Amino acid sequence: MIRHLPNIVSALRLLAAPVVAWLILAGHDTASLLVFALAGGSDAVDGFIARRWGVTSGVGAWLDPVADKLLMLFCFAVLFAVHAAPVWLVFLVIARDMAIAAGWLLIRYIPLKIETGPLPAGKLSTVVQVLYILAILLLLAFDIDAPRLAGALAWICGLAAIASAAAYAGVFLRGVFTQGRPA
C-alpha cells in the first residue's frame, strides 16, 4: 500500500483543484481556505513519503507537478474572477508556466542537450505562489479588506515569478548557445 500512497495523495491534490475553484467561486471562503491548505500540505507529504520509503515512480514524477500546476492555475484564475488577484499577476504566473512548458517541449523533442529539472528559483516561486494564494484566501475567509497588503503580496509573487522565468530562460539559452561546447 505504501508504494502507491504518494500517487494517491497527488491524485487527490489534482482532484482538489476544481473543488477549491468551485468553493472560491461559490463564496465558501473558509472551506476553500481549508481545502487549499490541505492540498498545499499534501505536496510535502507525498514527496516525503516517496523519498523516505523510496517509492518514487514515473507516474508520480508526472502526476505531482501536474497536480501542483493545476491547483495553482485554477486558484489564480478564480481569484481573478472574484476580483481578489490582479490580472497582471495571473497573466504573469500563467505566462511563466507556459514558457517553461514550451522550453521543456523544445528540449525534449528537438535534440538539445540541456539538463531539465526544477531550479531553486522555480521552487521558491512555487512556494511564494502558494503563500500568496493562502494569504488571499485568509483575507477572504476572515473578510479582511487589506488592499495594500494584497498589493504588496502580489508584487512579491510577481517578482518571484519573473526571477524564476529568468533563471529557466538562462538555463535554456545557455544550453542552446553552448550546445556541444563547454559552458
Domains and CATH numbers, the chain: 5-177 (1.20.120.1760)
What does the pLDDT read at residue 59?
Answer: 84
Residue 84 to residue 57: CA distance in whole angstroms: 37
What does the pLDDT read at residue 176?
Answer: 86
Sort 56 into a burial class: Cβ within 10 Å, 0-12 / 13-18 / 19+. middle
pLDDT band for 1, please (50, 70, 90 cuts). low
> What is the per-residue pLDDT across 29-79, written as a single tens digit (0 to 9) for each?
999 999 999 999 998 888 888 888 888 888 888 898 899 999 999 999 999
| Alpha-helix runs per DSSP H in the chain | 5-25, 29-52, 58-81, 87-109, 120-141, 147-177
> What is the per-residue pLDDT across 107-149, written as a single tens digit (0 to 9) for each?
888 877 888 888 999 999 999 999 999 999 999 999 999 999 9
Nearest Cα neighbor of 75 from 18, 26, 124 is 18
